[in-house]
Every structure is written in structure tokens, then in C-alpha cells.
Amino acid sequence: MSQVCKKGLLVVSFGTSYNYTREKNIKAIEDDIHNNYPDYKIYRAFTSNMIIRKVFKRDGIKINTVVEALNTMREDGIEDLLVQPTHILNGVENDLMIEALHKYRHYFNSIKLGNPLLTTQEDYINLINTISEEFSYMNQDAALVCMGHGTTHYVNTTYAALDYMFKEKGFNNIFIGTVEAYPDFDVILKSIKAFNPKKIILMPLMVVAGDHAINDMASTDEDSWKTQFENEGFSVKCVLKGLGEYPSIRKIYVDHVSRAKNL
């Protein structure tokens, strides 16, 4: 009789309703984590109830909320739990996840929690190294604009700090903006006009290249970033690739699991 695995690893993501980018990004992160911790049974949870409902209604695929995943792990006899969010920031979604974990702390022998992508200064540097290496082919007269989501949470200052650090590292042609917070498109446009590049490359600063990347960044809609930059006379190229597709980004998450496990 095989021994029941008593160690569980829960990977928590905001989620996406786009199946192909879920495979390329979220599943790729989950797979890398599992490959590094094969003695753990791996579980998935999304924090977006809207996406969970949409995927179930459209595809019949059931994805657990954090609470549902925790209940499943209890039923499976998991005793020691590692949790790794794929969130970019320590923001609202991460806070809600932590609240749920706190309520379930008495049901497990141990719960250890890994950090979101951008938590320490080392995380920032690793992300900067990945992006600057990935786009090292850019000429100095081209600009890379990274579109983040943005949040009402105070941790939104992460985006401005990341932009500042890119510049401090000598990457004056890389800019960070957000769809729903500061710095928004108008702020980025001022910086781009001052830099006056011959070409703009747009990329999502998001785990998945989902709805925001496809529609708000790269579409032909009049209010997409691509269209607005083109209307200002710039040549624009879009890279529809989520952060989860970069092996070095996935490694940051794996390293965060390692640090949490060794606490």
C-alpha cells in the first residue's frame, strides 16, 4: 500500500479565463515548483471568483478558491502545507489569501508562505535582469513600456520604485506603467515624449498575457495603449508574453518556495 502524502503545496494565482495563456504561464509556474518539490502533492487555487465562475460555465472546469483548496487538502490528509502565490505584489489578493490561511491555521501542523514576485530588493533586481536581458536586442533609440495592472492598495508604489530602479541601473529606455493606477498612460506618455523613441515595444508586466494585455495593451481599440501611442506618431510593437513564460521569472517563484520551506 502506497504511503499517503502528508505534504501539500498550494499555488495561488489571480487566474485567467484564457486557456492557452493559463497553460503557458500559471501551469508552467506550477510545474516548475512541482518539479523542484516532487515529494509534495500540488494543488491550485484562484483568487478571482469571476474567473472561476467564467471558466466553469464556459468549459466545465472547476478551479478551487483558496478556501475550497484548503478544505480539499484537509480531506486529503495534508498535514504540512506550503503556499506560494504567483501574485506580482503583496496587495489586496495576497492579503485576502493570507486571511483565509490564518483562519485555517489550526487544521494543519504547519503552514509556510512564500512571497509574491516583487517583495525584496533582490526580487526587483532579478526581474530587472530578466527583462533587460530579454530585450537586450533593442536599440537605444527604442523604448520598452511594461504595462502593470495597478492597485488601490498602498503597495502600488512598487511600480514607481521598479521604474526608478530600472533607471538607476542605466536602463533609461524602459518604462513602467499601470492600467488601473499610477503611473497611468498619461504619465507614461509624458515620459515617452521626453525620451522621443523611434519605436515603442509594449509588454505586459503581468503573470499572464490575458484580458488586459490583449485588449487594453495590444488591441486596435481606440483607448488601447498601442492605438494611443500610434496616434501620437510612434511605431509600436506588442509582445504578448506573460511573465510566467520566462524561465528566470519562474525561478524566482521556485526560490521563494525554498525560502518559505526553510523558515
Distance of alpha carbon 145 from alpha carbon 114, whole angstroms:
28
- Can you tell me whether residue 18 is helix, strand or coil? coil
Q: Which residue has the cell 503597495?
A: 155
Give the CB-side neighbour count of residue 7, counting CA atoms within 13 A.
8
Q: Under a CB-based contact definition with an 8 Å cutoff, are residues 247 and 255 in contact? A: no
Residues near 262 by beta carbon (within 8 Å), at least 6 away in sequence: none
Q: Which residues pair with 113 in a beta bridge?
A: 83
Residue from 149, 153, 212, 256 carrying the catalytic annotation: 149
Cell numbers linked to 14: 489571480
Give yes or no: 149 in active site.
yes
Positions marked catalytic: 149
